[in-house]
Each structure stands twice: as structure tokens, then as C-alpha cells.
Structure 1
Amino acid sequence: MRTAVRAAVRSALPALTALAVLVVPAPPAGAAPEPDCTADTGPYQRELEAHLKRPVDGVQSPADCAAVRAFQRTHRIKPADGYAGLVTYRTMVAVAARANPNADGGCPVRPHRVTCVDLRRQLLWVQRDRRVLFAPVPVRTGRDDEETRTGWHEIYWRNKDHRSTLYDDAPMPYAQFFDGGQALHGRPGDLYAHGGSAGCVNLSVPDAARLWDLLAEGDAVYVWGTKPGTDG
């Protein structure tokens, strides 16, 4: 009897082996290899190299490119191509300022909310006393001869869906007016197109929406410094 069983098992082995080969799943395909980073040297190469703790020589290398591309992906900058351009640089300035945006004391410290607009660094944040309520974000302020007015201001009117009555019905979402027609507002599309605004403080639309939810009429706005490339 045992001999017969052993013989039956031996005769079935080829079929069982073939079946096992059929049911074993194929190994999962590996992730696609990371494409080479080939962007050229950008106008803000040295600044990005310093921020990312790369050798600061102002010349793009494959490792520099990969580091810039990783920074872009982390901060959702598109395209994430490793090029050290203006959008990436402005984002870097905001990120670098997060630990203490008012380190140089440019924005007065008050017991109430103050929206701080630093023209030199093109940054905006909100503070109460020394506590930051709205972390610094990049902005676009007035171009030469249409500079954003400096000093103390107050938000006097808000319109979530405002459109410009002066500039071809241009959309100004989440507009918060603070001085003679100048407003904090979102700018759809390229935040840095045309070199500057006509005096308003432009933010990305998502940043403008978050700022809208924080501020109210009567809130203080303080603007100081000089935007690079302008006379005042």
C-alpha cells in the first residue's frame, strides 16, 4: 500500500510543480528611476546654494539641481525642475524667515494684530505682541513710481470677490483695502508678472484666502522699507 502511495505522489510531482509555477505572483515592478536633473544655473543660484547648505559657487551642478528640485517639491513649486528662479527664491526667503520674521525689529510690536509688510524682503506676516499669527509668505508690492505706501494703515473695507474698477475689471479676490485704494489681495496666475503691482500688496490666492479668514476691518497694517528696484 505504501509503495503504491509513493508511486502516485511521484507521478503527480511534475503536474504539481507546473501548477506552483503558474500561481506564484510576479515580483512587483520597481519604481521608475528618478530622471536626471538638468536645469541650468539660475539667477538666484548662490542664494539657494547657501540656504540648502550646498557649496556656494554660483554654478549649477547635478547635486545642486537635485537639492533645489527637492526644495521645490517640498514647497509645491511648479515646475519642480531644479532651476533657481524667482518663485523658488521668494519662497526660500519666506521659509528662511519663519523662525523669527521680525528679528531686525522692522515691524512695531503692539498688543493688537499687526499685518507686517516688509518691502525689502517682499514678505508679509501677522503678529500680535511677539507672537506670529500668520507665518511669512512672499508678496508682490508696488512697482517703481507706484510703490506701496509706507507707514501705518488700517483695513477700512473688505470685499471677497472684488474686481478692479481701474484696471480692466481685473480680479482682486479676498481684497482688504488699507490705504487710498491700495489693498491686500490675491493675484490669480503668476504672482511676479510685470515686476510689480500698481501699489497693492499681492499674495497667492490661497495665501490671500487664509489672510482673509484671520483679519477684520479696523486691523492695523504696517509697511516699511524699500522694494528692490524702486526709488522708495
Structure 2
Amino acid sequence: MKILAAAILGASLLCTAPAVVDAGQLIAKVDVSEQTMRVYRDGKQIHKWRVSTARKGKVTPRGSWRAKTLSRHHKSSLYNNAPMPYSIFYRGNYAIHGTNQISRLGRPASAGCIRLHPTNAAKLFAMTQQVGLRNMKVVVQN
């Protein structure tokens, strides 16, 4: 009888306990052929931005990854300390980041990273901080 009472009490506590707040899912979906990024939060598109992906002779990898690290004031160790503000690294040295070459957005221009307008990069960076790295997904497709 004591076991049954304990089981009922435990079940009632589970039913009345407050739910854990879900930070939500953030997806940055890049279409290389369109040179655009669509940002989805909890399945709903909330932004569409122009990007620059890899120029001729370079590669922006296709696939799906979770965000790995954030670096607000990053500088490239591979390309003469080029500024990479609001970097969201998702695969090795590949990141989504702001660029000072705004006029080149909308066409291939990078060495492989996904470049955004700095204002949009800052927004995506802040949203990623809000939901957490494990809830931010990067999808790159043709």
C-alpha cells in the first residue's frame, strides 16, 4: 500500500511541476544558388537576408550542422586578420559572420564562410546566444 501511495504522489508531482522552458529552435538555412539566408525560429521564417558564399575556386561546404562556438570580435587567422564580427562557427574554420564588403552581398565572394551584413550578423548572433548553441542549426544547400 505504501508503494502505491508513493507512486501516486510521484505521478501527481510530475503533473503539477512547471514545464522546463524551451529556448526554441533557430535554423539558418543558406541557399547557395540564391545567395540568401532564411532564418527560422520555431519553424516560422523570421528573416531573409542576402549573403556571400564561396567565390570561384573556393568551397562553402553543403550540409547541416549545429553551431559550435561564438566569437564576437573574431579576426581571421587564415586571411591577414580580416575582421569577422559576430562569428558563429559551425564546422571547423567555417562560420557565419559579418562583412565590411557589403556591396558584394548577394553574390559569391568569400573564401568559404557565409558573409552577412554586420547588422544582420549581430541579430543572428544575439538570437543564437538567446537560444543556445545546441538549439542553433546551420543548413547549407544549393
TM-score scaled by structure 2?
0.73
- Whole-angstrom CA distance in 1 between matches of 2:124 and 2:140: 16
Counterpart among 26, 32, 35 of residue 122 in structure 1: 35
Distance change >3 Å, CA 158–CA 192, structure 1 → 2: same
2:84 is the counterpart of 1:168: no
Alignment correspondent of 2:53: 141
Amino acid of the residue matched to residue 33 of structure 2? Answer: R
DSSP-derived class of the 1:172 partner = strand
Q: Which runs of 4+ in 1 moved over 3 A?
A: none
Alignment correspondent of 1:222: 139
The higher radius of gyration belongs to: 1
Q: Which has the higher helix share?
A: 1
How many percent of aligned residue pairs carry the same amino acid?
Answer: 31
- Structure 2 segments unaligned to the other structure (5+ residues): 1-23
- Whole-angstrom CA distance in 1 between matches of 2:124 and 2:74: 15
Q: Aligned residue pairs: how many? A: 114
Distance change >3 Å, CA 195–CA 220, structure 1 → 2: closer
Counterpart among 165, 169, 181 of residue 93 in structure 2: 181
Alpha-carbon displacement from aligned partner over 1:203-228 (angstroms, at most 9, x marks no partner):
01111111111114221111100xxx
- Structure 1 segments unaligned to the other structure (5+ residues): 1-110, 226-232
Distance change >3 Å, CA 147–CA 130, structure 1 → 2: same
TM-score scaled by structure 1?
0.46
Alpha-carbon displacement from aligned partner over 1:126-181 (angstroms, at most 9, x marks no partner):
11454113x10000001123221101111101100000001001100000001121
- Whole-angstrom CA distance in 2 between matches of 1:142 and 1:195: 5
- Whole-angstrom CA distance in 2 between matches of 1:128 and 1:207: 15
- Whole-angstrom CA distance in 1 between matches of 2:73 and 2:92: 19
Alpha-carbon displacement from aligned partner over 1:30-75 (angstroms, at most 9, x marks no partner):
xxxxxxxxxxxxxxxxxxxxxxxxxxxxxxxxxxxxxxxxxxxxxx
- Greater RCO (CA < 8 Å, at least 6 residues apart): 2
Amino acid of the residue matched to residue 224 of structure 1? Answer: Q
